[in-house]
Amino acid sequence: MKYRSTRGSKDTKNAAQAVIQGIAQDKGLFVPESIPQLPFALEDMKEKTYQEIAFDVIRSFFTDYTEAELQECVNGAYDKKFEAADIVPMVKAGDVYFLELYHGKTAAFKDMALSILPYLMTTAMKKEKEDKKIVILTATSGDTGKAALEGFTDVPNTEIIVFYPNEGVSQVQERQMTTQEGENTHVFAIRGNFDDAQTGVKKIFNDSDFAEELAKLGCKLSSANSINIGRLIPQVAYYVYAYAKLLEKGAIGIGDKINIVVPTGNFGNILAAYYAKEMGIPVGKLICASNENKVLTDFINTGIYDVKRDFYLTNSPSMDILISSNLERLLYHLSGDNGAEIAALMESLEKNKQYEVNDSMKKGLSEFWACYANMDETNAAIGRMYRENGYLMDTHTAVGYKVYEDYRNETGDQTVTVIASTASAYKFADSVAASIGLDIEQDGFVNVRALHEKTGVKIPAGLKGLETKKIRHKEVLDKEDLKAAVRDALK
């Protein structure tokens, strides 16, 4: 299996090379030349462990990794660092199934991929005889940063640098990052939003002069964002696993279609569901859920991507994004692998802040259904779900649930539905506590304890005692100063 750029470069890479490089030289993202079919029959999925499914799915894409190499990666990633014995519980509440992706060390779905990426990366470095230090450069809207830091902390021959929007993440998310230990970790807040951080990071990746400067220091850039194919592919596994679990529970029969709801900002998590569908998982609708920053909702419904709009800070901050990087990969597939067409669309986005896809690609978007929920609707959904079913959702998952309600009400579709539950409610304790009727305090950690006392829901181990940890990363940068911060971090 080879990987090529979404923007048409003839240069192809194997999986290990693509994982190391992170982003293609022509500024595009790496995609597989073809999406493989499921490596097992649907009827053989039942009773498989998460580790077994993850191995088989990732192996289908990363064919240059040996079975022994990949088994070591999977075994190292999905072990007792996950608090749930089955790694990803599937919980029914009301009329929907929640795929709980947040039982890893940082209590967010990013752990599912970022627990294995360091293993994939270090294995790739050995395979490709890479002698330079790998510098992981990452922008985060809240969860990727901590999960990447946790995964790469003190991994030999790596440095990890994370940028997050100052005042654009929850108190718990910020404290998770600023207290991060490790000799190779560097965390910076920036005066701006996530799009500013992501744009700044992409500019650094595309700066050939800076790459030469780093090479003289014995360093090479890579990414832990979902622009890295090594982040995206492991996420495909949990949608395959979801289907297996529904079969086991008797909720569906072999070949029955399911709907999948994904709250998403950067489009990576729902793109992984699209890949699972393309591999052969029977999926009816992929339901894309946005918050007030509804650029994806508008795009899927019109075919016009337009970032000339107000930006909102919401209580689902991981979705406070206007430039959804992984959408580029979907457009490449829908275009019939037309890299030149995608390059033109991305150039229009950069220059004109918008683009419109052609009729053929608009037709491809019909596999998706999209809507959004505002903060009041999000909070109401949290309260309603808890009152009626005793189930506690975080704000992002609640966006997904509210959009699912809208979809069902509009279409009458009763297909068995899975919602990607992306974070522990405790990461957004202020909003969740208020939504179930608690008086909230200014200190978010007080609200964590109050939420636990009210609901009895277990506080993730990684969040316990967080408020007493020493803050190690305090610097706040202007968005123009990211390159200087990288340079200083590597001195």
Query: In sequence order, what are the residues at sequence separation of 6 or more whose Cβ sits closer than 8 angstroms to the Cβ of residue 134?
Result: 20, 121, 125, 157, 158, 159, 219, 220, 221, 222
Average pLDDT of the residues in 231-236: 98
**pTM of the full structure:** 0.95
Torsion angle (degrees, nearest 10) of CA 368, 371, 377, 379: 40
Catalytic residue, chosen from 48, 110, 294, 427, is 110
487: in domain: no
Strand locations in 26-119 (E): 30-32, 90-93, 96-100
Instruction: Tell whether the model's pLDDT for residue 142 goes beyond 90.
Output: no
Does any domain span residue 200? Answer: no
Report yes or no on 330 lying in a domain: yes
Q: What is the pLDDT of residue 248?
A: 96
Residue 61 lies in a domain: no
Q: Find the CATH number of the domain harbouring 397.
A: 3.40.50.1100
Token representation of residue 137: 């450069």
Structure confidence by residue, pLDDT tens digits, 384-394:
999 999 999 99
Over the stretch 315-370, which tens digit does the pLDDT of each residue have?
999 999 999 999 999 999 999 999 999 999 999 999 999 999 999 999 999 999 99
Domain count, the chain: 1
Q: Give domain status of residue 407, yes or no.
A: yes
Average pLDDT over residues 235-262: 98
Residue 146 lies inside a defined structural domain of this protein: no
In the numeric block, which tokens belong to residue 2? 């080879």
Strand partners, 158: 134
In a domain, 305, yes or no: yes
Token look-up 């190499």 returns 69
Q: Identify the CA nearest to 478 among candidates 197, 102, 67, 160.
A: 197
CA angle 268, 270, 271 (to 5 degrees): 60
Looking at residue 80, the DSSP 8-state letter turns out to be T
Looking at per-residue confidence, does 167 or 162 come out higher?
A: 162
Q: In which domain, by residue range, is 361 found?
A: 90-107+233-462
Whether 110 is catalytic: yes
In a domain, residue 134? The reply is: no
Question: Average pLDDT, stretch 106-128?
Answer: 96
